[in-house]
Amino acid sequence: MTDVFSVMTESVLASLGQSLTVHRKDGTSESVTGILSRNVTPVGSLEAVMQSMTTVALDRQIRLERSDQVISGSESWRVDRRLKDDGYLTTWNLHAADH
């Protein structure tokens, strides 16, 4: 059974965004507002394997590069690649950061 409060929390954060910190490779940091999403998607030719995928959507004016670090609370991720740019928001694929 899906936890109603967790679904509601995700919905609010997706609508309003959440505070994130971006640590760049050059050592600078920036506080931004973005939308973190965690999804499970099928992969492979038969789509028989499921893969967990974390993405962040940010204002397209915020430029990220591969290996920049995105931090939310006690969790952190490394930027992998840009997935989509709709003219307003750019969606980036993230991988769990090594601590």
CATH number, domain of 54, equals 2.40.10
Question: What is d(CA 9, CA 86) in angstroms, rounded to the nearest whole number?
Answer: 25
The range of the structural domain enclosing residue 50 comes to 4-96
Structure tokens at 80: 């992998």
- Per the structure, how many domains does the chain have? 1
User: How sure is the predictor about 58, in pLDDT bands with cuts at 50, 70 and 90?
Assistant: very high
**Tens digits of residue pLDDT in 12-46:** 666 678 899 999 999 999 999 999 988 888 877 77
- Cα–Cα distances (Å) from 94 to 20, 34, 37, 43, in that order, read 13, 13, 10, 16
The DSSP bridge partners found for residue 78 are 69, 95
Indicate the SS3 state at residue 67. Answer: coil
